[in-house]
Structure 1
Amino acid sequence: MTDPKFTLNLSGGALHDVEPRQPRSPVRSVEFATPRAKLIEEADRAIRQDLTGFPRALAAYDALQSDPEALADWDMANYITMRKLGYNDHGRVHAFITGAASLAILELLLGGGVRPDIIESGIGDTDDVYLTVLLGTMLHDIGNQIHRASHEQHGVTLALPIINRILEPIYPEVFKRTKIRSFILGCVNCHDLNPPPLTIEAGITAVADGTDITKGRGRKAFALGSVDIHSISALAVDQVVIERGVHKPVRIDVTMNNSGGIFQVEEVLAPKVIRTPLARYVELHARTRPEGDEQIVSRVRLDGDHFVMDLDSGATVQVEVEDTQARTAQALSEALDVGVERK
């Protein structure tokens, strides 16, 4: 197994500082740290390292991260989702973490010979792809400030003036600027699979969004009184690692401190792998730490549209990802021979 490209590590409840690397080094490990400002600082450092050699993407990032409208959008999206709905973080920290994750995924895909749609179509080059993926990912959730319902479409409307303002000095030619903008808006519109993304760039945004499932994201919602499957299951995820895969360009490894984290993997991350153009290029694995709470599931891997679960009892269970959480629980109950009515 190769060294990780991206690691969001909250193991044992302690968050550790980033381990710096040389710009454009083939190996990177990022461990985000608290408090909130520190999380953004470490994500910013990782993003800037990945944008070395991509001047248009870096210029766009500099403009975005200091844009007062974007800053207000992130804060208001977080206010509605966390304070009014009791959801996990959807604000500035989430934007920066998923932005860093998206660039890690993009770099691995490019290294694996995958041609994003901007390049495949002849519209732009690698610099344009980095710019598109980063802006689309960092702006993907701002529509939540209006309402969670239809937040993807609200996000497109709200992102338009920000994108136009950022792109105009970078792309003086209206024709190309409009085409690049369409890819960015596609990332925003399709990040939650409603509708599913059609481009590699939008698929990267969706998968990067799905990787932000650790307990750092759920802790504040839990502290604010939101005790539900989303906050509880997020507290069960210690670490997400993005690295070069064995059989595919990208491998995502999820480490849980107990089996409750399966909800995050099954409901949040896995659909964003199998229902995007990245399905052919991403391996997804999850496991529980032996020293964690009493275990039911020890290891999970994605096989097509099914999870293959290795239970602590030694049994193996296959579950369709698109099925409900109740079906997953039923399959586990049957394998463990508990809670099943005998005939």
Structure 2
Amino acid sequence: MMNAFDLTEHPHRRYNPLTGEWILVSPHRAKRPWQGQQEAIPRPVSVPHDPECYLCRGNERSNGATNPDYTDTFVFENDFGALNQSVPEGGFGEGGLLLAEAERGICKVICFSPRHDLTLADMEVADIRKVVDVWREEYAALGALDFIRYVQIFENKGAMMGCSNPHPHGQVWAQSSVPVEPARETVMQEAYFAKNGRSLLSDYLEIELKDRKRIVAENEHFALLVPFWAVWPFETMVVSKRHFGNILQMDEAECDAFADITKTITAAYDQLFGISFPYSSGIHQTPTDGKEYPGWHFHMHYYPPLLRSATVKKFMVGYELMGNPQRDITPEVSAGRLRALVVNREVVF
């Protein structure tokens, strides 16, 4: 006779209500031996200014422009942006199956600090707040342009995540359509709100704050958690406790709290395996197409690739590419490990 189903032991699927997709969870596989690829441990950046760095203050960039002698943040249009404003309108279509559309946009780079050796995890909360202010400014300015429908704010940290320059920085891509992931979240959140009169993430966060198994940390205005449906081993999500749609709708206290929770998660990541932890992160918020989105609930995703140590990463291959995402370590275990670093004050502020 089979034992009763146990989330901590038995293979199962979990549903992501933000996207309508499923993930396979295989807890027993966390015990398997690893003889696969081992990543090199990244060397810490130790100099506050690198004369060869394209992003350090006063240095010349690859296009010949010279960076100003900035003291806080520095924003400029990406010299090699994936999008640009000069694309003519038009498209291509054949047989209803071959479709292409022109896409206009603007790509910007945000240097978080003039210090070459300070990531968000190393910065003071007051300085991270300045980064939050820049995110707000860019969302407002770019979103106000008549051809911009979505503003994606994100960061790729570390060479493992494809970051081409070690100077701590993030990016903003603003474009004339809503990208796939935010578009999926728009459909699911608006449908939930229309049916229930409350935001999907408000109701989800209520469950998580009561259960607490996947809560990593919280402050007055934000909760940091490992989603029930997390794909990446130590994936986390920051969710606002108040229901609002975008970063411009934060008050001053919420801006401070957002900077604080950003420090908490990035510092905890660095403590987990004792390295400058790689990840991709991004803010998800309302499109800027002028429509009303009462169901949208502000949140931020962190997707780190490391699996069981600083040298073993999660690969999205085989079944993940051909079927659907799969994970071994459960979200509850991941949350517990991260939470212990915060609770036991191993996170250095």
Higher helix share: 1
- Specify if TM > 0.5: no
TM-score interval, smaller chain:
under 0.3
The structure number with the bigger radius of gyration is 2
Structure with bigger RCO (C-alpha 8 Å, 6+ apart)? 2
TM-score normalized by the length of structure 2: 0.25
